[in-house]
A = this chain, B = another copy of it.
Amino acid sequence: MKNTRQKEIILDAVNHLDNHPTADEIYLFLKKDHPRLSLATVYRNLNQFALEGKIRKVSVPGDSDRFDAVLDVHEHFYCEKCGLIHDVSIPGLEAQLLNHPTMKITDYKLMLFGECESCRAH
C-alpha cells in the first residue's frame, strides 16, 4: 500500500533475474548493494506481488518456491541433470485443464521433469 525502496528493488530484481530465482537468491543478490535489507521483507513482498498478479510463484515439489516475472502462459520444466528450470510452451494445455466437464477448475500448478536439450547433447 505504501511505496518503499524495498518494494522497488525487489520487483526490479525479479524482472532482471530471469532464472526463476528463489527468495533467498533474490535476497543475496540485493544484499550486495542494500546490506540492511531483510529476508523477511523479500518474502513478504514476493508473496504480495504474487497475490496481486505482478509476478508468478512457481512451486517446486520438495524444493524452495521460485519467482517469475514472465506473466504469459507457460509451463516449467526441471532438468534433473543440470537442475535448471526451463520455460516450456504447451499450446492448448491451459484451455484443456480449465475446461473440464465436471470440475470447476480455476487454476493449476504443473512441474515437468526430465532432461533438457543442452544436457541431452552432452
**Are A77's CB and B105's CB within 8 A?**
yes
**Does A51 make an interface contact (CB < 8 A)?**
no
> Please, how many angstroms separate the alpha-carbon atoms of A90 and B112 in the complex?
17
**Cβ of A88: which chain B residues have Cβ within 8 Å of it?**
100, 103
Number of this chain's copies in the complex: 2
Smallest CB separation, A118 vs chain B (Å): 11
In the complex, the chain B residue whose C-beta lies closest to that of A86 is B103
> Please, how many angstroms separate the alpha-carbon atoms of A100 and B88 in the complex?
9
**Cβ of A117: which chain B residues have Cβ within 8 Å of it?**
102-103
Which of A56-106 touch B at CB < 8 Å?
A: 59, 61-62, 77, 86, 88, 90, 93, 96-97, 100, 102-106
**Are B96's CB and A93's CB within 8 A?**
yes
Smallest CB separation, A56 vs chain B (Å): 12
Binding site for B on A (CB under 8 A): 59, 61-62, 77, 86, 88, 90, 93, 96-97, 100, 102-117, 120
The 7 closest A-B pairs by CB, nearest first: A59-B61, A107-B113, A105-B114, A106-B114, A104-B114, A110-B110, A108-B112
